[in-house]
Structure 1
Amino acid sequence: MQISEIPLPEHLKQQYLAKGMQVLYPPQAECVERGMFEGRNLLVAIPTASGKTLIAEMAMHSHIARKGKCLYIVPLKALASEKYEEFSNKGVRVGIATGDFDRRDDMLGNNDIIVATSEKVDSLLRNNARWIAEITLLVIDEVHLIDSSHRGPVVEMVIAKMRYRNPAMQVIGLSATIGNPKVLAGWLDAELVTSTWRPVDLRQGVFCNDRIHFREGERRVKVVSKNFDDINLCLDTIAEGGQCLVFVSSRRNAEAFAKRAAGAIKSEDPGLKEPAKELERTAETEMGKTLAACVARGAAFHHAGLSRPERAVVEEGFRKGLIKCISSTPTLAAGLNLPARRVIIRDYLRFAAGEGMQPIPASEYHQMAGRAGRPRLDPYGEAVLIAKDEGQVEELFEYYIDAPAEEVHSKIAEPNALYTHVLSLIASGFAGTRNELLSFMDRSFYVHEHRQGRLMQRAVDTALKFLVDNDMILEVGEHLGSSEFGTLVSRLYIDPRSAAMIVSTLHKESDYSDLGLLHLICSTPDMPRLYVRNTDRAALDRMMDEHDGEIWLEMPGEEEEQEEYYRALKTAMLLSDWADEMPDARICERYSVGPGDVYGMVESVNWLLHASGELSRMFALTFHPRIREYETCMKNGIRRELLPLVKLRGIGRVRARRLFNNGITSPEAVLGAGIETVTKLIGRGIAEQVFAQLEKRVRATPLPEGEDNMAGQSTLSRFR
């Protein structure tokens, strides 16, 4: 099917043709034939790199041409940024929403395409964003994640709520290959488009004894390293002019492989100097310095412990072909568009708490293998597993290469999933009685799969009992309504169990404590926690002794609960050190984490501090000012003494401390010191910005009555 024949705006066709895209891929053409431009719902379950994003883009532009509005849902913030860039500069207005969960973001409605995470869309529905009613096309990327116990319930409820609100809306689900696509398509009332077609041929094999074993034959790989098969496979790819991705089970393994690969590749490409220098310049940890050294030789590692700027440098270097090999944990396979000639799945066992090392699912293998082969760049792609011995070769073929992807199933009826969703349905007006609540849940994927839905009814009853007992839901006869407390919790987008825990503790405490609040927040279901090693216990016990009286929660008696108590305490210690202005490098070393981990935990705790501040306004007003102050301290990583300075735009933790240590402790003191003195401390550009802000404040402050307004300076740099 020719692109020139498709009913799309002419400017978009011309952009496609200018990129050399003249004919649709077979799965894309099938979507058109199945009624994509006539508003039919679609479930597109096809391999990675088969053109799913273009399917969505064509459908969105078709809607926009008819005055429609489109919502594109992604599972990850990083993926939202990537899609935002991809959809921009094509003649339509594109917006992105991944941030605060208690805002309506009405300005987003001015865009034609809104890219958002599923959690953000759920929060917009709870906060009654007006433009949601204008959505004519909903696209759900990575819809197979409905099977995730973490994200799945949110994805499922967002789809159900959006279809309830906008019954005429078209829905397009984009999915990796899954085992039961007909069931998911049936729930979505969608035409099913499946295919095994790929734009680049994918060869899948198992490496053993210096050969890659394929179903249709073998291929010998030159032995360079006597000890490391993964290095030999990597160098073999590079010798052919390709790049490779190596998937391993842990961050430590990713870093270790990258160091070995850098030593083997020894690239002297002058193009690597700039990204290596950029990484070295900003490196604050040993991990950052190691990454810079690896990149200088043409290798890199990629995992969630890296900071966002570090990840961006690695991804850009790989896309440009400068970095020849990336070793990664499976985060890279979860949607980011970084294909390579060869994908090496070295580690297919992963540690699971309480279960030891377990095989990864076949669907995860297929997701990683799908990264092999760059369209229009590679003649083929290869996905290679590494066997430990000859006996394992056939086993790996059966368990992964020849195995179908697993089925996806609803996770909404799991014990802890429904508390927040039952509350939001009542607080947002989707249900006002128990029957209406159960009737809405009949729209779920779970009930579509299990027609009787008895487990769902029990889970709803359990959630309702908790919400009524904790005064978030009011039950009067048949009627269900949310209390002021329940409405606030729903709007704040926190787990009702977290809210109940925070409020009950604030009620009991008479003396405020930053550490007490922090440990409380880190003990809630919403907060990710660090793991505790046996060697950590002594330091944590010392900390409890040193801060006796400040920690609000008591040590539980049960050993399993003690483990969670210590994990929350260790996480609180890290965050307390951050707010106490401990340097990033020292935090990373002290807690064995990466800058990306610190950023993630600070982001999570900031939201829960904000929520705690809002709850304290309702239940513990005397604590409210202190919590709001500490929220700002945590956001900036500062002690309270720097609060007046960070109110100035452009002044963060480092510049504020530099000013404070030089006796400049407030905006008034900045003015008094003069621009030349301040320039020496924070640089000319920032100093000029700061003084421009202060100048506006001076002009906006009315003079006392009777004062001669002709005296003194008219601006900071000019006398009258």
Structure 2
Amino acid sequence: MKIESLGLPDEVIRFYLDSGIEELYPPQAEAIEKGLLEGNNLLAAIPTASGKTLLAELAMLKAISNGGKALYIVPLRALASEKFDRFRSFSSLYVKGEGKAGIRVGISTGDFESRDEWLGSNDIIVATSEKTDSLLRNETSWMEDITTIVVDEVHLLDSANRGPTLEVTLTKLMKLNPGCQIIALSATVGNAYEIADWLKAKLVLSEWRPTDLHEGVYLKGNINYHGSQKRIEPRTRDDAINILLDTLEEGGQCLVFESSRKNSVSFAKRSGAKIGETLDKPTRNALDILVEQIVENGETETANELAKCVRNGTAFHHAGLNSAHRRIVEDGFRDNKIKVISSTPTLAAGLNLPARRVIVRSYRRYDPNYGMQPIPVLDYKQMAGRAGRPHLDPYGESVLIAKSYNEMTGLFDNYIDADAEDIWSKLGSENALRTHILSTIVNGFATTREGLLEFIEATFFAHQNDTWGIMDVVDECLDFLRDNKMLEGEDTLVPTALGRLISTLYIDPLSGAYIVNGLKKAEHITDLTLLHLICKTPDMRQLYMRSGDYEIINDIVIAHSDEFAEIPPRSREIDYEFFLAEVKTALLIQDWIGEKTLDSITKKFNVGEGDVHAFADIAEWLMHASSRLAGLIAPEMSIDVSNMTSLLEKRIHYGASPELIELVSIRGIGRVRARKLYDNGLKTVDDIRKSSHKRIAELIGPKTAAKLFTEIGLHLEFTSDDSGEVTLKTMDSLMGNEQSTFSDFEK
């Protein structure tokens, strides 16, 4: 099927032809035949790189040309950024009639209490499922104007963490905009027909790929495929490194999936020692630039480890890296500078990083309850699907590694030849339902118990299960909300001011109850009191307790016993262990706002730099919620904590002590530079204005100083003489008042 035959605006046809897309893949053609461009709902359950995103683009562009507006829902912030960057290429398309306005694209992934009304001026809005849910809770007006909804990775309905939010959000959107077109994109799953039936969607189910995928198992020097075998030259003792070297020799790149962060780092180091020997000088020069960027954007030992790996053409990738490092690694791999990425499985479900060959070094993953467990077939299929770069590789290969013949046959049976598991709704538990029942009542989707049942009947859970059993759980949730003064009424359910606030703050009602009750109980409130209170909530990730932690954390609890709202008795061992984990998490945030170095924090708590930022992001959100809740219940409290919570929210955002808040609020001046300025007597913006510019440049570097001056409204001019000395002039100096020179200025 030719792209020109689709009946799309000429601008759109020309855009895709200029991009090299002239003809649709078979699954894409099937989607067109099933009414994609005629407003029909559609579920495309097809392999990675088979053109799912193009289907979404065509539907969105057709809708926009008819005066519509599109919402693109993704599971991850990184994926939102990737899609946003892609859709911005539509800015030159004039498909909205005589107005000749290019397509506008917006993105929203954070600030769960914001309506983001400004986004309504865009034609395509990219958002995470959580942000979409929060926009619905905050009754954002433009949500009713959406005519096309794209749901990427819809198989995540099966996720215990993200699934219930995605499911309820889709149910609300279908009720809010009953005539809206829904395009759901998924990996191949066992019961795609069931999801399509729930969405009242046509189903495109295919295993077709633009590049052939050869799936095999490596055993004793050979990759074994169905009906064939490939010999791998044994150059080292590590089978996976031998497979890597074979891949590079044929001009390909490789993704290696490991079971843990530690293993991914270890493998990147080991393989780099061999792969570095194969790199030519231009590649090494390109890698040196990446190394400089990594060092510049890192404060921890992990940055040095990553830099050493990248120098040899390898890299590791996991959630413990900071966002800058993840982006450098991803871009370096896309540009074929980095040859190998050793990653935890998270990369498989996220970004678009295909490679010639995918190696799954371990098909088992650690479960804290059951130890090492085999991964689901769907996870394997997601990893294998990364093999083969369209238009770059003649084929893709996915390789599992076995140590015995029996293990090899088991891998063929259980993964290569197996179908992906069925997707099951995870909405049925009290933990999942509690927050969504409150928001459903607050937003008026249900105002009675019967109305709640009617709403639940529209969910994927009800599509798969009888709902008579779930009403007991619903009643327990309603009792909890009434007992904690978030809800009133029996026949008619009415949210209280507290219930409304908790829903719009986008926190679990149990988190709200913990914070409210803790603030009321506490008689002596310190930073630690408030930090522990937010770390007690189910919305906060908890640090694991290691064997050496118990005595240390317990001693801290004893020394600061009057600063905790409540301490469980040690006789309740499980409760006390959870409490210690909460305290440990609070201590990490305390070190962060106390300006401890990232390197010291990561080593002390055995986490990555990315983890520290993730903990801080959640803590900032929960402290903001605490501040708003404290303001609401102030008459019931013995202590006014509004100023404390507000200041703590800012400190968590910047990772800084109170005295630095004014300086770190200047864009580009982080906590390290702000501390250097402060300790040298430059404590306010006014102090900086009055200071010698040469002095500031010596403290934080000329480039940063130049940006700082611009941020505070001092416009600069740089000149250099024949000797190479550079002169910096401010607007004041141009009027004859001041001039600073320094010969070490970076050109």
Normalising by structure 1, what TM-score?
A: 0.95
Matched, 1:311 2:337: no
1:314-354 CA-partner distances (Å, limit 9, x unpaired): 11111111111111001110121000111111111111112
Deviation of the 1:199 alpha carbon: 0.3
Once the two structures are overlaid, the 10-residue window that deviates more, 56-65 or 531-540, is 531-540
Deviation of the 1:190 alpha carbon: 0.4
Matched, 1:629 2:647: yes
Deviation of the 1:110 alpha carbon: 0.6
8 Å contact from structure 1 (residues 516, 553) kept in 2: no
Aligned pairs (5 A) from 1:24-423:
24-90=24-90, 91=93, 92-225=103-236, 227-266=237-276, 267-268=279-280, 269=283, 270-423=285-438
Distance in 2, Cα, partners of 1:120 & 1:516? 29
Structure 1 residue identity aligned to 2:530: L
Gaps of 5+ in 1: 697-712
Deviation of the 1:19 alpha carbon: 2.5
Structure 1 residue identity aligned to 2:249: A
The verdict on how the C-alpha distance between 1:429 and 1:674 changes in structure 2, with shifts beyond 3 A counting, is: farther
Deviation of the 1:360 alpha carbon: 0.3
8 Å contact from structure 2 (residues 254, 357) kept in 1: yes
8 Å contact from structure 1 (residues 147, 409) kept in 2: yes
Structure 2 residue identity aligned to 1:411: K
Deviation of the 1:550 alpha carbon: 2.1
Match of 1:541 among 551, 554, 561: 554
Match of 2:676 among 633, 637, 658: 658
Distance in 2, Cα, partners of 1:282 & 1:480? 51
8 Å contact from structure 2 (residues 534, 540) kept in 1: yes
Deviation of the 1:691 alpha carbon: 5.3
8 Å contact from structure 1 (residues 93, 111) kept in 2: yes
Structure 2 residue identity aligned to 1:341: R
Once the two structures are overlaid, the 10-residue window that deviates more, 678-687 or 390-399, is 678-687
Question: In structure 1, the residue corresponding to 2:148 is in which secondary structure?
Answer: strand
Partner of 1:574: 588
Matched, 1:599 2:613: yes
8 Å contact from structure 1 (residues 695, 716) kept in 2: no
Deviation of the 1:717 alpha carbon: 7.5
Distance in 2, Cα, partners of 1:717 & 1:152? 61
Q: Percent identity?
A: 47
Gaps of 5+ in 2: 94-102, 715-729, 738-747
Deviation of the 1:12 alpha carbon: 2.3
The verdict on how the C-alpha distance between 1:693 and 1:205 changes in structure 2, with shifts beyond 3 A counting, is: closer
Partner of 1:449: 464
8 Å contact from structure 1 (residues 341, 380) kept in 2: yes
Distance in 2, Cα, partners of 1:634 & 1:335? 28
Partner of 2:721: none
Once the two structures are overlaid, the 10-residue window that deviates more, 215-224 or 189-198, is 215-224
Matched, 1:486 2:499: yes
1:614-635 CA-partner distances (Å, limit 9, x unpaired): 0011124710111101111111
1:296-317 CA-partner distances (Å, limit 9, x unpaired): 1111111001111111111111
Partner of 1:702: none
Partner of 2:724: none
Deviation of the 1:716 alpha carbon: 9.4
Once the two structures are overlaid, the 10-residue window that deviates more, 215-224 or 109-118, is 215-224
Question: In structure 1, the residue corresponding to 2:126 is in which secondary structure?
Answer: strand
Structure 2 residue identity aligned to 1:280: V
Structure 1 residue identity aligned to 2:342: S
Deviation of the 1:679 alpha carbon: 4.0
Structure 1 residue identity aligned to 2:311: A
Distance in 1, Cα, partners of 2:712 & 2:334? 44
Once the two structures are overlaid, the 10-residue window that deviates more, 390-399 or 135-144, is 390-399
Distance in 1, Cα, partners of 2:654 & 2:359? 40
Question: In structure 1, the residue corresponding to 2:337 is in which secondary structure?
Answer: coil
1:558-603 CA-partner distances (Å, limit 9, x unpaired): 2222221121111111110010000111111111111111111111
Q: What's the C-alpha RMSD, in Å, of the aligned pairs?
A: 1.8
Distance in 1, Cα, partners of 2:731 & 2:667? 23
Question: In structure 2, the residue corresponding to 1:426 is in which secondary structure?
Answer: helix
Match of 1:522 among 535, 551, 554: 535
1:681-711 CA-partner distances (Å, limit 9, x unpaired): 3445655665566569xxxxxxxxxxxxxxx
Distance in 2, Cα, partners of 1:59 & 1:505? 50
Deviation of the 1:719 alpha carbon: 8.8
8 Å contact from structure 1 (residues 342, 383) kept in 2: yes
Structure 1 residue identity aligned to 2:563: E
Once the two structures are overlaid, the 10-residue window that deviates more, 541-550 or 339-348, is 541-550
8 Å contact from structure 1 (residues 302, 326) kept in 2: yes
Question: In structure 2, the residue corresponding to 1:622 is in which secondary structure?
Answer: coil
Partner of 1:705: none
8 Å contact from structure 2 (residues 297, 324) kept in 1: no
Aligned residues, how many? 701
1:55-114 CA-partner distances (Å, limit 9, x unpaired): 000100000000100000000000000000111121211111101000000010111000
Deviation of the 1:380 alpha carbon: 0.6
The verdict on how the C-alpha distance between 1:485 and 1:715 changes in structure 2, with shifts beyond 3 A counting, is: farther
8 Å contact from structure 1 (residues 695, 715) kept in 2: no
Partner of 2:660: 642
Distance in 1, Cα, partners of 2:703 & 2:307? 28
The verdict on how the C-alpha distance between 1:421 and 1:682 changes in structure 2, with shifts beyond 3 A counting, is: same
8 Å contact from structure 1 (residues 149, 411) kept in 2: yes
The verdict on how the C-alpha distance between 1:519 and 1:10 changes in structure 2, with shifts beyond 3 A counting, is: same
1:30-75 CA-partner distances (Å, limit 9, x unpaired): 0000001110000110111100000000100000000100000000
Partner of 1:612: 626
Distance in 2, Cα, partners of 1:228 & 1:685? 46
8 Å contact from structure 2 (residues 521, 565) kept in 1: no
Deviation of the 1:356 alpha carbon: 1.1
8 Å contact from structure 1 (residues 304, 596) kept in 2: yes
Partner of 2:480: 466
The verdict on how the C-alpha distance between 1:165 and 1:715 changes in structure 2, with shifts beyond 3 A counting, is: farther
Deviation of the 1:262 alpha carbon: 0.3
Deviation of the 1:672 alpha carbon: 4.0
Question: In structure 2, the residue corresponding to 1:88 is in which secondary structure?
Answer: helix
Distance in 1, Cα, partners of 2:469 & 2:233? 57
